[in-house]
């Protein structure tokens, strides 16, 4: 296979020959500045590739818009989680403290109408703090775990993480990766295209 990285050592290049039977997963291009990747991302967006991504050490301002990333559905999910929390909070208190009904919640449980200092059995104002807390709790957990789930995380490994060069993506380098599963992907053409973007280095990623 061709190694395109200008600073790749011969020993590493020899090492990759042995793996050349492995499937190509994609091609990455390395950039040195946020400005460079921002400009390049616009060009990749316009070139018609679908399965591509930018890998950056911090969220470069507006790069998602530049890439044409659609706004995530996460806030809608979180809204309904909050609604669930509120309902759950009210239901829990009203059931346990204001009724004598029995329901099945994994085991049979019965409510107990607490009469405390002459307050009404259904004293909504006193239920507000717990309703609020459960709303926040469910929303926050959904925001965090929903984000991870939508991102397909956690995962223990990824083809990109095998690359030595890619390790700087969490430090100070910016990468554009075009995946091999893209219908428009053609190893030689994609490589050539990425080189025209002014990348510092271009490297093939294997699965």
Partner 1 sequence: MSSSQIDVRNRGFIDTDNTGDTPGRRATLVLNMHRFHDVTQQVCRIAEAKRAPVAWYVAFAISLAMVSMLGFCVLYLFFTGVGVWGLNNPVMWAFDITNFVFWVGIGHAGTLISAILFLFRQKWRTGINRFAEAMTIFAVICAGLFPGIHVGRVWLVYWLFPIPNQMELWPQFRSPLLWDVFAVSTYFTVSAVFWYVGMIPDLATLRDRAKGRIQQMAYGLFSLGWRGSMRHWHRYEVAYLLLAALATPLVLSVHSVVSFDFAVSQLPGWHTTIFPPYFVAGAIFSGFAMVVTLAVPARELFGLKDLITLRHLDNMNKIILVTGCMVGYAYSMEFFIAWYSGALYEKFAFMNRAFGQYWWAYLIMVSCNVITPQLFWFKRMRTSIPIMFVLSLVVNIGMWFERYVIIVSSLANDFLPTSWGGFIPTWVDICTMTGAFGLFGVCFLLFCRYLPMVALAEIKAIMPEADPHREHPQ
Contact set for partner 1, span 169-198 (CB under 8 A): 169-172
| x/- track of binding to partner 1 for residues 120-149 (CB under 8 A) | ---x--xx-xx-xxx-xx-xxx-xx-xxx-
Q: Least distance (Å) from partner 1 to the CB of residue 21?
A: 25
Residue 160 makes contact with partner 1 by CB under 8 A: yes
Residue 104 CB-density burial (10 A; 0-12 exposed, 13-18 middle, 19+ buried): exposed
Q: Say whether residue 8 binds partner 1 (CB under 8 A).
A: no
DSSP of 5-66, one letter per residue?
A: -TT--HHHHHHHHHTTTSPEEEEEEEESSHHHHHHHHHHHHHTT--SEEEE-SS--TTHHHH
Tokens (6 digits) for 29 = 């291009």
Q: Which of residues 21-40 bind partner 1 (CB under 8 A)?
A: 32-38
Compute the Cα dihedral for 148, 150, 151, 154 and give only its sign: positive
Cβ closest to partner 1, residue 56 vs residue 194: 56
Q: Is 91 in the site for partner 1 (CB under 8 A)?
A: no
Q: How far is the CB of 20 from partner 1 (least distance, A)?
A: 24
Residue placing its CB nearer to partner 1 in the complex, 79 or 189: 79
Interface with partner 1: number of residues (CB under 8 A): 75
Beta bridge partners of 143: none
Contact flag: residue 104 with partner 1 (CB under 8 A): no
Q: How many residues does the chain have?
A: 207
């Amino acid at each position: 296979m061709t190694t395109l990285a200008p600073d790749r050592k011969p020993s590493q290049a020899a090492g990759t020959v042995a793996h050349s039977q492995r499937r190509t997963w994609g091609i990455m291009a390395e950039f040195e500045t946020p400005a460079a990747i921002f400009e390049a991302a616009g060009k990749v967006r316009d070139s018609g590739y679908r399965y591509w991504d930018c890998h950056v050490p911090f969220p470069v301002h507006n790069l998602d818009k530049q890439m044409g990333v659609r706004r995530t559905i996460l806030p809608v999910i979180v809204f309904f989680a909050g609604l669930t929390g509120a309902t759950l909070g009210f239901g829990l208190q009203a059931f346990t403290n204001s009724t004598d009904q029995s329901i099945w919640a994994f085991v049979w449980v019965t409510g107990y109408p607490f009469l405390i200092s002459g307050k009404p059995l259904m004293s909504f104002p006193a239920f507000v703090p717990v309703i609020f807390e459960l709303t926040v709790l469910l929303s926050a957990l959904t925001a965090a775990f929903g984000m991870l789930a939508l991102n397909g995380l956690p995962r223990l490994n990824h083809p990109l993480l095998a690359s030595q060069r890619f390790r700087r993506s969490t430090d100070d380098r910016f990468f554009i990766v075009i995946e091999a599963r893209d219908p428009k992907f053609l190893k030689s053409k994609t490589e050539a295209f990425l080189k025209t973007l002014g990348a510092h280095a271009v490297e093939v990623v294997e699965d």
